[in-house]
Amino acid sequence: MAGDEALALSAADKFDRRSQFFPMTAAAIGAANTALVKDPKLQFKSFDGLRNNSCYSSTYSLLLDKRIHPISSVSSSNSPAVIRAVSTPLKPETSIETKRSKVEIFKEQSNFIRYPLNEELLTDAPNINEAATQLIKFHGSYQQYNRDERGARSYSFMLRTKNPCGKVSNQLYLAMDDLADQFGIGTLRLTTRQTFQLHGVVKKDLKTVMSTIIKNMGSTLGACGDLNRNVLAPAAPFVREDYLFAQQTADNIAALLTPQSGFYYDMWVDGEKFMTAEPPEVVKARNDNSHGTNFPDSAEPIYGTQFLPRKFKVAVTVPTDNSVDLLTNDIGVVVVSDDNGVPQGFNIYVGGGMGRTHRMETTFPRLAEPLGYVPKEDILYAVKAIVVTQRENGRRDDRRYSRMKYLIDSWGIEKFRSVVEQYYGKKFEPSRELPEWEFKSHLGWHEQGDGRLFCGLHVDNGRVKGTMKKTLREIIEKYNLNVRITPNQNIVLCDIRPSWKRPITVALAQGGLLPPTYVDPLNITAMACPALPLCPLAITEAERGIPDLLRRVRGVFEKVGLQYNESIVVRVTGCPNGCARPYMAELGLVGDGPNSYQIWLGGTPAQTTLARTFMNKGVPKSSSRYYLKLFTDKETYETVDALAHIENKTAHQLAMEVIRNFAASQQNGKSK
């Protein structure tokens, strides 16, 4: 783990840096696009990915000759015939078979994400096989085991809900609270994508838990897997035209990209569907095939049998509010309003993503970049066109390179925009200029704008447990409150009458849920993924390790003279996949081995700049002594060491003195 010098350097960098913001001008969109190609039989050039010797073909994803293998015992509808996208004609037979990842084979043979999961759930074994393990992700679940325990593996399942905008009804919250106690480990986990995670469910209880969630107007469909994940939007329930429009748009995008083949309801509620009526504009956009986006007559008109190459993430927000980490998403959508505050359209950003692989420089975190502007009535068609472009051209041979960010990095934004426009049927307009961004936590008490209040509550690492869990349930149940989950792992109590504010405040304090002014500012912006002991991908600690880390950061602040109200954004993950978005942090720690982390520095509080690797090798999680030479390059260390010898000091002593002097000068400047 980082030593005190690295933490101090991050603190100094925090107060010396100027904010950097998105490239918002029309110039950022680049040169004029090529003419729109209207030939529906157009064969796109194959995406060669990141390797010169790749023989990958962007059209294999449309499944060539070997299509669906119907499993009559699990299908609730007639299996479709051979399906191909009209935009991609069949290639002539060749002797070279296109390489595909194992997961692509599992999807192809699954009869729309049913087989062999349906059979595996009926066995007496506590776990499921490899193919079923991949398929159950589409249903919103991961197979896990307790890695703290030795001997035979103790298998269980994590369930993740899907809550566009983080919206959770009173009924669903109470159901999730009950399920955590009855079938889980007694806790609820609020995630960085505004959902619940329920850990510790054993296989024999999966159907009971899933069906209970569905019958209480919740869902886990698509919370994991190679499809669109939960759509983010600001959690604040402001009754303001722009916020309401952003949340409605997030709901519509989520509905547009929800699987249609019924596999989820077949598996968990015997085919009975619990769905609200969709807005007509969503149905119209999904069914529209005027530009060759759909699989005709398919149970999955947008996804087909193969769904997407990898997970796909979307966020919607309003200008200035970057509570959603907009640029970390495959698609970022920003409401653009006129001078009267009436929404007119959207700026769209594409190509963000956090995941990477250690010691593979060809994998990397990436910020989304501007694609263009669309009128508000076109947003669903534009989003669909982007998704289809990734579906048709994203790599399916090597899942490390399957996210859309690698497609855009390979093609460049101009080519990507040109291909998207063919599916969209229009040219994108230049992006509209927007104001600067800022992170908004939405914590504390606020007026909604309709005469009621909302209260945002900080939850360390999103773990709702113990007295806090009991208190929240009592308040939510007594006052019949709806809640929202924030992208920073916190919770918002909504629709509170002003007369309830005092008794709720008292009850919250008694349960340890304090106003944000009583919470260390470092904790307010910090995030960590669950990591050990249950996450199978974790290399080291995150959630269990971050409390000690934050105490050490606070200790360094005190040593160098920074005040209690000063803070930096700290994020910790147990592996390089980046669930807690550490590559946007001012101090990011990314697990790279047992009890060791990479150090990333240089993100901004507004979440608009990628951090950079400060130390690319493992640093011990804890040690009795830290030296400057561990945390800087050789040239810098030697320079500081030479200067230190002139004053008869060590390099470490001189560096700490410089940092303290800098902090003091900053405080003096503020006082003036």
Q: What is the pLDDT of residue 26?
A: 34
Structure tokens at 174: 């109470």
| Residue 171 one-letter amino acid | Q
In which band, very low, low, confident or very high, does the pLDDT at 594 lie, cut at 50, 70 and 90?
confident
- DSSP annotation of 270: T
Q: Which fold has domain 444-520?
A: Sulfite Reductase Hemoprotein; domain 2 (3.90.480)
Query: Using 50, 70 and 90 to split pLDDT, how confident is the model at 645?
Result: confident
Confidence of residue 48 (pLDDT cuts 50, 70, 90): very low
Using an 8 Å Cβ cutoff, are 516 and 560 in contact? no
- pLDDT tens-digit readout, 486-538: 999 999 999 999 999 999 999 999 999 999 999 999 999 999 999 999 999 99
What is the pLDDT at residue 180? 98
Which of 54-58, 66-70, 613-617 has the highest average model confidence (pLDDT)? 613-617
- 20 φψ region: left (φ > 0), alpha (ψ -120 to 50), beta (else): beta
Give the phi and the psi of residue 425 in degrees, each rounded to 5. Answer: 85, 5
Position 623 scores a pLDDT of 43
- Domain 521-671: what homologous superfamily? Sulfite Reductase Hemoprotein, domain 1 (3.30.413.10)
* CATH 3.50.50.60, applies to 102-111+226-424: no
Find the helix packing angle between 651-671 and 4-16, rounded to 10°: 30
Pick 48 or 323 by higher pLDDT.
323
pLDDT, residue 57, reads 34
Q: Residue 15: is its pLDDT beyond 50? A: no
Model confidence at 142, in pLDDT bands (50, 70, 90)?
very high
Segments making up each domain of the chain, as ranges: 102-111+226-424, 444-520, 521-671
- Reduced to 3 states (helix: H, G, I; strand: E, B; else coil), residue 453 is strand
What pLDDT score was predicted for residue 657?
A: 74
pLDDT band at 4 (very low <50, low <70, confident <90, very high): very low
Asked if 430 contacts 373 with a C-beta cutoff of 8 angstroms, the reply is yes
Q: Residue 266: what residue type?
A: D
pLDDT greater than 90 at residue 141: yes
Report the pLDDT value the prediction gives residue 642, as an integer from 0 to 100: 82
pLDDT higher for 618 or 623? Answer: 618
Q: Do domains 102-111+226-424 and 521-671 have the same CATH topology?
A: yes
- Higher confidence at residue 656 or residue 254? 254
Q: What share of the chain is helix, strand, coil (3-state, %, to 5)?
A: 35, 15, 50
Name the pLDDT band for 138 (thresholds 50, 70, 90).
very high
pLDDT band at 66; cut points 50, 70, 90 = very low
SS3 of residue 332 by DSSP: strand
Which of 12 and 584 is assigned the larger pLDDT?
584
Q: Read off the DSSP letter of residue 601.
A: E
Mean of per-residue pLDDT scores for the chain: 85
Averaged pLDDT for residues 328-336 = 98
Which residue, 593, 548, 591, 555, is CA-closest to 572? Answer: 591
13 or 499, which is more confident?
499
Q: Is the pLDDT of residue 53 over 80?
A: no
Question: pLDDT confidence of 56, banded at 50, 70, 90?
Answer: very low
Band of the pLDDT at 644, cuts 50, 70, 90? confident
Least confident of 34-38, 259-263, 446-450: 34-38
pLDDT for the residue 658? 76
Binned at pLDDT 50, 70 and 90, residue 615 comes out as confident
For residues 380 and 121, what is the distance between their CA atoms, to the nearest angstrom? 36
DSSP characters over 13-37: HHHHPPP-----SGGGG-SPPPPPP
- pLDDT > 70: what percent of the chain? 80
Which residues lie below 8 Å from residue 649, measured CB to CB, with a gap of 6+? 657
What count of residues does the chain have?
672
Span 646-657, average pLDDT: 75
Write the pLDDT tens digit of every residue in 433-482.
999 999 999 999 999 999 999 999 999 999 999 999 999 999 999 999 99
Q: What are phi and psi of 613, to 5 degrees?
A: -65, 125
Query: Among 143-157, 406-420, 623-637, which is the least confidently predicted range?
Result: 623-637
Q: Is the pLDDT of residue 18 over 90?
A: no
Q: What is the pLDDT at residue 38?
A: 34
- Provide the angle, in degrees to the nearest 10, between the axes of the packed helices 280-287 and 379-393: 40
> Beta strand pairing status for 483-485 and 463-464?
unpaired
For residue 179, the SS3 value is: helix
The model's pTM is 0.81
